[in-house]
């Protein structure tokens, strides 16, 4: 059996799915490329989150990449100048709500970025500078609960304003432009 694998830069305001069960007018991944039948996103990014998304027709590979064996790195622009105390709390694990239950996040790597990451401006402006400072953090996870990064940063008092997944294993977003799709023979995850 031949499998198909894709690396895409999911744009802001797109849903990580291909078909809708309703007639809602929303943007879907299937609008970006003529994907092979049976293509699924490996993990999801919510509508507001941009960045690296892997797609495949291989369910076993999808399961492996979603497992804790593969690290995912996110860049989050947060409201305010994030403190060392907040970074330590994020690193050590905090309680968030997942499906109505309290969930303790796993320990993870977190660091404040000295300069904003070299990523394209988002089409929709985040907000004006007159609203106060923002800062950027890198958060590396080996888990992926629904809206986890957003819940984590909000919990420590620095809500996420912009979120971008930059890396999955060894695959990085690099200079891919929003909406770009690359079909590849296989993913180099480094595991």
Active site residues: 46
Of the candidates 76, 39, 34, the residue with the CA atom closest to the CA atom of residue 16: 39
CA distance 135 to 180: 27
CA 76 to chain centre: 9
The answer to whether the CB of 96 falls within 8 A of the CB of 103 is: yes
Strands (E), the chain: 5-10, 14-15, 27-28, 40-42, 50-56, 72-79, 95-98, 101-104, 109-113, 134-141, 160-168, 171-172, 181-184
């Amino acid at each position: 059996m031949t499998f198909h694998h894709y690396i895409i830069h999911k744009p802001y305001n797109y849903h990580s799915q291909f078909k809708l069960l309703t007639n809602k007018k929303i943007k879907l991944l299937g609008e970006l490329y003529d994907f092979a039948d049976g293509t699924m996103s490996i993990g999801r990014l919510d509508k507001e989150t941009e960045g690296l998304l892997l797609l495949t027709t291989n369910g076993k590979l999808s399961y492996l990449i979603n497992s804790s064996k593969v690290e995912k790195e996110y860049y989050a622009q947060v409201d305010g100048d994030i403190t060392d105390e907040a970074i330590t709390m994020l690193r050590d694990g905090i309680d968030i709500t997942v499906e109505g239950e309290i969930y303790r996040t796993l320990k993870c790597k977190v660091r404040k970025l000295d300069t904003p990451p070299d990523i394209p401006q988002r089409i929709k402006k985040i907000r004006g500078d007159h609203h106060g400072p923002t800062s950027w953090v890198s958060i590396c996870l080996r888990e992926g609960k629904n809206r986890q990064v957003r819940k984590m940063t909000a919990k420590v008092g620095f809500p996420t304003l912009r979120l971008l997944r930059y890396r999955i294993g060894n695959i990085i977003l690099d200079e891919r432009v929003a909406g770009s799709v690359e079909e590849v023979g296989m993913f180099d995850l480094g595991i």
